[in-house]
Chains A and B, each alone.
Chain A
Amino acid sequence: MTRLTGGLIDRARDLRFTFDGRSYSGHPGDTLASALLANGVRLTGRSFKYHRPRGVFSAGSEEPNALVELRSGARKEPNTRATVAELYDGLEAASQNHVGPLGFDLLAVNDLFSSFFAAGFYYKTFMWPRAFWEKLYEPAIRRAAGLGSLSMQPDPDAYDKGFLHCDLLVIGGGAAGLAAALTAGRAGARVILADEDFRLGGRLLAESHPLDDAPATEWVARAEAELAALPNIRILRRCTVFGAFDHGIYGAVERVADHLPEPGQQVRQTLWRITARRAVLAAGAIERHIPFRNNDRPGIMLAGAMRAYANRWAVSPAKRVAIFTNNDDGHRTALDLAAKGVEVAAVIDSRPDARAQGQYRLVHGMVSDARGRLGLRGVQIDSGGRREWLDCGALGVAGGWNPNVHLASHHRGRPVWDEALQAFVPGEGGLCGLIAAGAAKGQGSTAAALRSGAEAAVEALAQLGIEARPAELPAAEDASAGLRPLWHVPGKGRAWVDFQNDVTVKDIKLAHQENMRPVEHLKRWTTLGMATDQGKTANVTALAVMSELTGKPIPETGTTIFRPPYSGVSLSVLGGGDTGAHFRPRRLTPTHEWARAQGAVFVEVGPWMRAQYFPRPGETHWRQTVDREVLATRKGVGICDVTTLGKVDVQGADAGEFLDRIYANAMKSLKVGMVRYGLMLREDGSAWDDGTCARLAEDHYVVTTTTAQAGPVYRQMEFARQCLWPELDVQLISTTDAWAQIAVAGPNARRLLERIVDGFDLSNEAFPFMACAGLTVCGGLKARLFRISFSGELAYEIAVPARYGQALVERLMEQGADLGATPYGTEALGVMRIEKGHAAGNELNGQTTAQMLGLGRMVSSKKDGIGAVMSRREGLAAETRVLVGLQPVDPAQTVLAGMHLFAEGAPHRTETDQGWITSACHSPHVGSSIGLGFLADGGARMGETVIAANPLQGQKVALRVVPPHFVDPEGGRLRD
């Protein structure tokens, strides 16, 4: 055990956990990383490419090394950073990326062949033979590389999404963030304070410096209590703001229950979409390391992390440690560890004039090598030409701090090089209203961070017209680090820059030699900064190394920026519960419950659930059911819910003129009380949508659309009304959901309707084909009746307010029992429309024209309808393919939609293609399979035999070309 005294852990309670099957214990307040270190576990995993043994490197979300598989079974989470995984009782974790035990990884052989795996090796090595890539190289590489493994099971937990609004979002709850939140909170602004940690305080929790002569945690506790008491402040702990988006919208993930074994009744995580008028970026800084040979040994870590483990978690990674630094911050770690009783073997400072700040050995020099493959045993020190090995179990490396510019660069904000700080600070950003403060702005001392946080809040609120005074702040340390840059230790051997993707100084040198010098090339050639940590601890160091090689200053070498997300975001929380049946809203027809009670089988039609067919006992195949429904309709009367077709109510003095411009055909001339088939074109001249247009009054029309295009057609009509012809007196409203519409089709349709209308004259003379009227049914229920037919039979569509839809269907079924009333679904509907030769979605697929549909003459040239001009252009006018009916020469053969049509004897090639089959079905009326399709010169080829082919599956069938009306070609049934 390497526990020290003090710390922010609750020693009264023990938490049991396992790592790679072995049991350990820790305390509340621990992370998995601190608990492992407390149990003397330095080796936590293997590296990505060379399978090098690795250990904990940091104490936060920047961790590149200590990635584990957390939990087991369906909840297993690969690539979880042990440094941010909060310890709970019963936690299970396993190391990843090794074959065999962690201590003896068979793939560590990669390390011996490292010279083959240098930068760009994929591009250079696996070139030949080409065919090997897909079958051999790629699968082998994929098995060997990569990190943890997925559970391959569905995520059992619930997730949620939410929206939050505030005046000021404070990102980070450290010194600067707390000062900003206090300042804004006291001014009465609506504030959200989000911190990724489970405890507020940030770096204040990791330092030993007092605030106002008391431990910093006391000030943090007071600030937290004050914030919690303010009603205008919301504190989100365990909440990572992962991205800044346009206009002050921020994405954040709150890990609601990740610190529990199972979420229980809670959601596991919540995705917050925060709309903030202004934001303060108080995300702190990330320490950088100094590459030297074998600097990836387990036990070598950031000096600031080592200090955090000692102060916050009361842990030292070893009993005897050393520090390698180029600034005063490293000395601070030495002092803090020594104060906790840890033996400090030496502080190795690269600054020749550095002075010891306490009772420890100071060496002016550099660390040039390290030994201890599975755990550090010692480091080699070069000092003034002398070289010695120093025994130590851990080494803290302090190379200076990089402001955490991550979120500030999501909006094209280019980090700016600050020569004095020797670091990039946030540049001018885009439009997310983000102001950096504290260490994230390069204001790294505690006093400067506090001050800068308060000032940032005042500035942000002033922009909103909210007056605020900076919160009074405690006295705090204000030391500068006196950094003298040292970007890497020169020498032989491999010195790691990017730990997660195994990129070394050598790789950067190679990229330089191979002229991959611009930073974007460097990244892609070496994969530097392209691991899941986005190179948080690597990028600036790599730039500096490249700058040294090119002889150009760092700002001229380039900058790297970051992209959302700041740290990994699970797909589950992005889905936020919109999975499976909840993937999208489901729309149910007014007769849905009734249809279900009838045993209907449903089909998804866009968002709608529609009855597909209504099987009866004894029917063993869907076609039996559909054939029965078709024949029952054609013989007696069928009933079908057609509510899903779009309905648009069009009213106003100019309604007729407006519709004349919307439709290809004329509508102004339609008589009141009549319905007309209408075809809409796209402005490019192609056919778009069809439906009916009923004129209920001089200034009142009802337009119907197809189910699929109900939304787009309405949008287009509003576009025409508002954007093209706002001078017309016309109003639109979608009434698709307001009216339940039921088709009543078949020779008995009139007799059935006569039984429910309130004395309305349905005779052919009074209410002929294509008539419409408002009326009442069933003793006073307001209704609309349209004599229109999709089936080719005598047919009506009756509309009643949606809430009466089910009652109407029940009444019709009850009243029509002796007339053979039969419900039918979308399959029978489809069969009957193919038999009748009506176009539907398959024919109106966006690539066809009115002329192809046989409706060319409907496109009026006497008026300026949408699409009319373009429909007459040469290319479309020359099109000869037209809609025809197709019937197999041998009635036993089947016609399939999607087959292409060829002349008999012609080869089946694109050049000889004469068209395609759009729709096909078995027709109980014809007694064979039938189809509709577009055929070149089809109108002149009636009776001819053509070949329908599906070369993909070797299918071929001889078809006879027939007119597209298989049922009642003269239309007598409709008009009787």
Chain B
Amino acid sequence: MLIPHPLLGLRDAQEFTYLGDAALLNRPDGMAEGAEAAFAEYVYLRDNPAGVHRELWFHEQGDRSWLVVTRDTTTHEILGAELARDVKLKGGAA
């Protein structure tokens, strides 16, 4: 697979480490009321869609950027890639 790195262009997927659902960006506030239930969901529950999926990839053998890659899990088509940092600063993964 080739991943369109927003800074470096097309890079081979071998350079990346895969993490999973970009929902991991939305970490609950550990100091808030009911944090335990929120964390149980955050840590263990994932959607596993057949289709468009937003997911985290780490450019470990590269510039060490974390990316949010939008990928169709049924075709492996990559619909986009953003710096995770930008996504988070804009309010996290939808």
Footprint of B on A, CB under 8 Å? 245-249, 275, 412, 430-431, 683-684, 711, 715, 718-719, 722-724, 726-727, 863-865, 868-870, 872-873
- The reply to whether A722 and B60 form a contact with Cβ atoms under 8 Å apart is no
- The reply to whether B58 and A718 form a contact with Cβ atoms under 8 Å apart is yes
- The reply to whether B60 and A431 form a contact with Cβ atoms under 8 Å apart is no
Chain A residues whose C-beta falls within 8 Å of the C-beta of B17 in the assembled complex: 715
Query: CB-nearest residue of chain B relative to A726?
Result: B85
Given A722-B66, A726-B88, A863-B31, 16 extra CB contacts under 8 A: A247-B78, A249-B1, A412-B75, A431-B76, A431-B77, A683-B39, A723-B24, A723-B25, A723-B56, A723-B66, A724-B27, A727-B89, A869-B28, A869-B36, A870-B36, A873-B40
Chain B residues whose C-beta falls within 8 Å of the C-beta of A431 in the assembled complex: 75-77
Q: 20 interchain pairs (CB within 8 A)? A: A247-B78, A249-B1, A249-B12, A431-B75, A683-B43, A715-B17, A718-B58, A719-B56, A722-B83, A722-B84, A723-B85, A726-B85, A726-B89, A864-B31, A868-B30, A869-B30, A869-B36, A870-B36, A872-B36, A873-B40
Chain B residues whose C-beta falls within 8 Å of the C-beta of A715 in the assembled complex: 17, 58, 60
Chain A residues whose C-beta falls within 8 Å of the C-beta of B46 in the assembled complex: none
Chain B residues whose C-beta falls within 8 Å of the C-beta of A722 in the assembled complex: 65-66, 83-85, 88
- The reply to whether A246 and B76 form a contact with Cβ atoms under 8 Å apart is yes
Chain A residues whose C-beta falls within 8 Å of the C-beta of B84 in the assembled complex: 722-723
CA of A726 to CA of B85, assembled, Å: 6
CA of A928 to CA of B42, assembled, Å: 48
Query: CB-nearest residue of chain B relative to A163?
Result: B12
Count of chain B residues with a beta carbon within 8 Å of a chain A beta carbon: 35
CA of A248 to CA of B60, assembled, Å: 23
Q: Which of B28, B29, B75, B76 has the most CB of A within 10 A?
A: B76
Q: Mark B65-92, 1 if CB is under 8 A from A, else 0.
A: 1100000000111100001110011000
CA of A718 to CA of B85, assembled, Å: 10
- The reply to whether B30 and A718 form a contact with Cβ atoms under 8 Å apart is no
CA of A414 to CA of B82, assembled, Å: 33
Chain B residues whose C-beta falls within 8 Å of the C-beta of A719 in the assembled complex: 19, 24, 56, 58, 66
Minimum CB–CB distance from A873 to chain B (whole Å) comes to 6
Q: Mark B16-41, 1 if CB is under 8 A from A, else 0.
A: 01010000110111110001100110
- The reply to whether B75 and A430 form a contact with Cβ atoms under 8 Å apart is yes
CA of A870 to CA of B36, assembled, Å: 6
- The reply to whether A870 and B76 form a contact with Cβ atoms under 8 Å apart is no
Minimum CB–CB distance from A661 to chain B (whole Å) comes to 9
Q: List 3 tightest A-B contacts by C-beta distance, closest first.
A: A864-B30, A246-B1, A247-B2
Chain A residues whose C-beta falls within 8 Å of the C-beta of B28 in the assembled complex: 869
Chain B residues whose C-beta falls within 8 Å of the C-beta of A869 in the assembled complex: 28, 30, 35-36, 39
CA of A431 to CA of B43, assembled, Å: 33
Chain A residues whose C-beta falls within 8 Å of the C-beta of B27 in the assembled complex: 683, 724
- A723-B30 contact given A247-B1, A430-B75, A683-B42, CB 8 Å threshold: no
Chain B residues whose C-beta falls within 8 Å of the C-beta of A872 in the assembled complex: 36
Chain A residues whose C-beta falls within 8 Å of the C-beta of B56 in the assembled complex: 719, 723
CA of A869 to CA of B29, assembled, Å: 10
Minimum CB–CB distance from A649 to chain B (whole Å) comes to 13
Q: Which of A249, A684, A723 has the most CB of B within 10 A?
A: A723
Chain A residues whose C-beta falls within 8 Å of the C-beta of B78 in the assembled complex: 247
Chain A residues whose C-beta falls within 8 Å of the C-beta of B76 in the assembled complex: 246-247, 430-431
Footprint of A on B, CB under 8 Å? 1-2, 12-13, 17, 19, 24-25, 27-31, 35-36, 39-40, 42-44, 56, 58, 60, 64-66, 75-78, 83-85, 88-89
Chain A residues whose C-beta falls within 8 Å of the C-beta of B30 in the assembled complex: 864-865, 868-869
Chain B residues whose C-beta falls within 8 Å of the C-beta of A724 in the assembled complex: 25, 27, 88
Chain A residues whose C-beta falls within 8 Å of the C-beta of B83 in the assembled complex: 722
Minimum CB–CB distance from A714 to chain B (whole Å) comes to 8
Q: Which of A249, A868, A869 has the most CB of B within 10 A?
A: A869
CA of A431 to CA of B79, assembled, Å: 12
Chain B residues whose C-beta falls within 8 Å of the C-beta of A726 in the assembled complex: 85, 88-89
- A249-B2 contact given A683-B43, A719-B19, A719-B58, CB 8 Å threshold: yes
Chain B residues whose C-beta falls within 8 Å of the C-beta of A727 in the assembled complex: 89
- The reply to whether A684 and B43 form a contact with Cβ atoms under 8 Å apart is yes
Minimum CB–CB distance from A871 to chain B (whole Å) comes to 10
Minimum CB–CB distance from B31 to chain A (whole Å) comes to 5
CA of A711 to CA of B66, assembled, Å: 15
- A870-B85 contact given A412-B75, A430-B75, A865-B30, CB 8 Å threshold: no
Chain A residues whose C-beta falls within 8 Å of the C-beta of B19 in the assembled complex: 719
Chain A residues whose C-beta falls within 8 Å of the C-beta of B89 in the assembled complex: 726-727
Query: CB-nearest residue of chain B relative to A715?
Result: B58
Query: CB-nearest residue of chain A relative to B66?
Result: A722
CA of A837 to CA of B33, assembled, Å: 37
CA of A936 to CA of B75, assembled, Å: 50
CA of A556 to CA of B74, assembled, Å: 24
CA of A245 to CA of B75, assembled, Å: 11
Minimum CB–CB distance from B49 to chain A (whole Å) comes to 18
Chain A residues whose C-beta falls within 8 Å of the C-beta of B65 in the assembled complex: 722
Query: CB-nearest residue of chain A relative to B84?
Result: A723
Minimum CB–CB distance from B22 to chain A (whole Å) comes to 9
Chain A residues whose C-beta falls within 8 Å of the C-beta of B1 in the assembled complex: 245-247, 249
Minimum CB–CB distance from A281 to chain B (whole Å) comes to 19
Chain B residues whose C-beta falls within 8 Å of the C-beta of A275 in the assembled complex: 2, 12
CA of A719 to CA of B58, assembled, Å: 8
- The reply to whether B29 and A864 form a contact with Cβ atoms under 8 Å apart is yes
- The reply to whether B66 and A718 form a contact with Cβ atoms under 8 Å apart is yes
CA of A430 to CA of B28, assembled, Å: 38
Chain B residues whose C-beta falls within 8 Å of the C-beta of A249 in the assembled complex: 1-2, 12
Chain A residues whose C-beta falls within 8 Å of the C-beta of B13 in the assembled complex: 246
Minimum CB–CB distance from A85 to chain B (whole Å) comes to 33
Query: CB-nearest residue of chain A relative to B17?
Result: A715
Minimum CB–CB distance from A234 to chain B (whole Å) comes to 20
Q: Which of A412, A870, A873 has the most CB of B within 10 A?
A: A870
Chain A residues whose C-beta falls within 8 Å of the C-beta of B35 in the assembled complex: 869
Minimum CB–CB distance from A869 to chain B (whole Å) comes to 5
CA of A727 to CA of B25, assembled, Å: 13
Query: CB-nearest residue of chain A relative to B67?
Result: A722
CA of A863 to CA of B19, assembled, Å: 26
CA of A872 to CA of B65, assembled, Å: 32
Query: CB-nearest residue of chain B relative to A865?
Result: B30
Query: CB-nearest residue of chain B relative to A864?
Result: B30
Chain B residues whose C-beta falls within 8 Å of the C-beta of A247 in the assembled complex: 1-2, 76, 78
CA of A218 to CA of B48, assembled, Å: 58
Q: Which of A683, A719, A722, A863 has the most CB of B within 10 A?
A: A722
CA of A723 to CA of B13, assembled, Å: 20
CA of A727 to CA of B78, assembled, Å: 28
CA of A318 to CA of B48, assembled, Å: 61
Query: CB-nearest residue of chain A relative to B24?
Result: A723
Minimum CB–CB distance from A872 to chain B (whole Å) comes to 7
Chain A residues whose C-beta falls within 8 Å of the C-beta of B75 in the assembled complex: 412, 430-431
CA of A16 to CA of B29, assembled, Å: 79
Q: Which of B19, B40, B42, B64 has the most CB of A within 10 A?
A: B64
CA of A870 to CA of B17, assembled, Å: 25
Minimum CB–CB distance from B19 to chain A (whole Å) comes to 7
Minimum CB–CB distance from B60 to chain A (whole Å) comes to 6
Minimum CB–CB distance from A732 to chain B (whole Å) comes to 8
Chain B residues whose C-beta falls within 8 Å of the C-beta of A711 in the assembled complex: 60
Chain B residues whose C-beta falls within 8 Å of the C-beta of A865 in the assembled complex: 30
Chain A residues whose C-beta falls within 8 Å of the C-beta of B24 in the assembled complex: 719, 723
Chain A residues whose C-beta falls within 8 Å of the C-beta of B31 in the assembled complex: 863-864
- The reply to whether B36 and A873 form a contact with Cβ atoms under 8 Å apart is yes
CA of A651 to CA of B12, assembled, Å: 31
CA of A868 to CA of B27, assembled, Å: 13
CA of A869 to CA of B32, assembled, Å: 10
Query: CB-nearest residue of chain B relative to A683?
Result: B43
Minimum CB–CB distance from B23 to chain A (whole Å) comes to 11
CA of A869 to CA of B41, assembled, Å: 12
Minimum CB–CB distance from A483 to chain B (whole Å) comes to 35
Minimum CB–CB distance from B48 to chain A (whole Å) comes to 19
Minimum CB–CB distance from B40 to chain A (whole Å) comes to 8
